[in-house]
Chain A
Amino acid sequence: MLDDNDGRIEQIAHELKRAERVSSSFDARVMRAVRSLPRHARLTLWSRLTTPRRISVTPLSWGLLAASLLIIALATTRAVLVEESTNPAKPITTALFAAPSKKQTPQAVQFVLVAPDAKKVAVVGDFNGWDPKHAGYQAHHSGGGVWSVTASLPVGHHRYSFVVDDSLWVADPIAPRAVDNDFGVTNSAIIVSAQE
């Protein structure tokens, strides 16, 4: 009896130890089933971003790319120069490229208004988008009702006005009047020329 059981146990053990034979189409069937499962969107994007790719670039494309980078650098520097030179709140920084010519360099202009009863005075004009809230054009009260602000203006002819207490438009008493009066409020005129 025991011998029969031993024999059966040995037979079962021998069957269990025997290597499994997998059909050649098994792998293919499994991969097909895996691929058909929905992939997570982030994993798809991540795998796209991290999978190395081979790109062919012609010399012309390289040249265009280099030119565009140079233009971006030039334009950015110029924008920084113009912004810093017209905004008194910011310091002038050293330019990486040649500074604008004297003709283009904005000039410092002082605006003065005597308004003893005013609480707030701003200068607006074609040099700051007529914006009474522009930070660089808020006048400071230096006592005795005298309000002043020094701002950088581009060379040329400009129209401007004072705005008192955010509501009252006042022409500059010492400046000539701009002839055009499209909106019922007369502007003052100033000509800014390059310094010698």
Chain B
Amino acid sequence: MHVARCAVGAIALITSTAFAQDTSTLASRLDKPTYIAVTAIVDSARIAKMPTKPLFDKALEGAAKGSDGPTIIGAVQQRWVRMGAAKQGLGTSTSPDEIRSAVTALEAGASARDLARIRSAGGKRSVTLPLAVLTDLISRSIPIPTATDLVLQLMRSGVRDGDLSTFQRNVRADIERGADPTAAATTRARGAIRSNQPKPGRSE
């Protein structure tokens, strides 16, 4: 029984090591009242079995930029709310990577409904990269409804993550060469969808 208790304790220790490291980093960078408030939010995430790293990141960002405690707490709180919205939009069986990607998309302006549509279009596949591509398109000044529709079209036509990455790189390159962002994205999406269609059989 004593050995069993030791084994269970060892397992718990390992899983909490990374969390303890993040917490100690936070403690060294925030003043005590801010640290207490932020860790209370982080504890809520832990209890809800949600990833805590996005919350730590937001607090560390605020500390690095010299923001005051209330601003940091507000930003962390807002991110926590968005994480809840992300999980609601994507469904209960959402991975931590998907939640992080969804939070970024929400912060860029996508809605929970957009997340749900992307989840529906993706089926069982991970939506981490499609959401990251959506966020990237929005950040390049492509209107949110257009960006969402393009990503949905790509997913529904079966474009995989590798081709989605190629599409995003091509759009970026076109914009850097001076192309209109929406035109570049629409053109490249059309090409990616066409490339993904099965080629018709030859008739003899």
Q: Does A178 contact B (CB under 8 A)?
A: yes
A182 pairs with B75, CB closer than 8 A: yes
Report if B135 contacts A (CB, 8 A): yes
Residues A183 and B61 in contact, CB atoms below 8 Å apart: yes
8 closest A-B pairs by beta carbon, nearest first, are A193-B165, A64-B7, A157-B132, A130-B64, A182-B75, A61-B3, A176-B139, A68-B7
The answer to whether A176 touches B3 (Cβ under 8 A) is: no
A-contact 0/1 string along B136-166, CB 8 Å cutoff: 1011100000000000000000000110110
B14/A182 in contact, CB under 8 A: no
Name the one of A64, A65, A71, A183 contacting B75, with C-beta atoms under 8 angstroms: A183
* Given known contacts A67-B7, A131-B64, A180-B108, A126 and B57 CB-to-CB distance under 8 angstroms: yes
Judge if A16 is at the interface, Cβ distance under 8 Å: no
State A139–B167 Cα separation when bound (angstroms). Answer: 30
Are B61 and A179 neighbours in the complex by a CB distance under 8 Å? Answer: no
Report 25 cross-chain contacts, Cβ distance below 8 Å, ordered by A residue: A61-B1, A64-B8, A68-B6, A69-B10, A71-B11, A72-B10, A156-B97, A156-B100, A156-B101, A159-B104, A174-B176, A177-B139, A178-B108, A179-B107, A179-B109, A179-B139, A182-B62, A182-B67, A182-B71, A183-B61, A183-B62, A191-B168, A193-B164, A194-B161, A196-B162
Q: Give residues 50-84 of A contacting B (CB, 8 Å).
A: 55, 57-58, 60-62, 64-65, 67-69, 71-72, 75, 79
Q: Residue-by-residue, is B13-56 near A (CB-CB < 8 Å gives 1, otherwise 0)?
A: 01001100000010000000000000000000000000000001
Of all chain B residues, the one with the shortest Cβ separation from A69 is B10
| Residues of chain A at interface, number, CB under 8 A | 42
Contact in complex: A183, B67 (CB < 8 Å): yes
Q: Residue A38 at the B interface, CB < 8 A?
A: no
In the complex, the number of residue pairs spanning A and B with C-beta atoms less than 8 Å apart equals 122
Residues in A122-175 with C-beta less than 8 Å from chain B: 124, 126, 129-132, 155-157, 159, 169, 174
- Count the B residues whose beta carbon is within 8 Å of the partner chain — how many? 51
Q: Are A169 and B65 in contact (CB under 8 A)?
A: yes
Which of A64, A79, A178 is most buried by chain B, counting CB atoms within 10 A of its CB?
A: A64
* Residue of A60, A130, A159 with most chain B CB atoms under a 10 A cut-off: A130
Chain B CB count within 10 A is highest, among A55, A64, A184, A191, for: A191
B14 pairs with A65, CB closer than 8 A: no
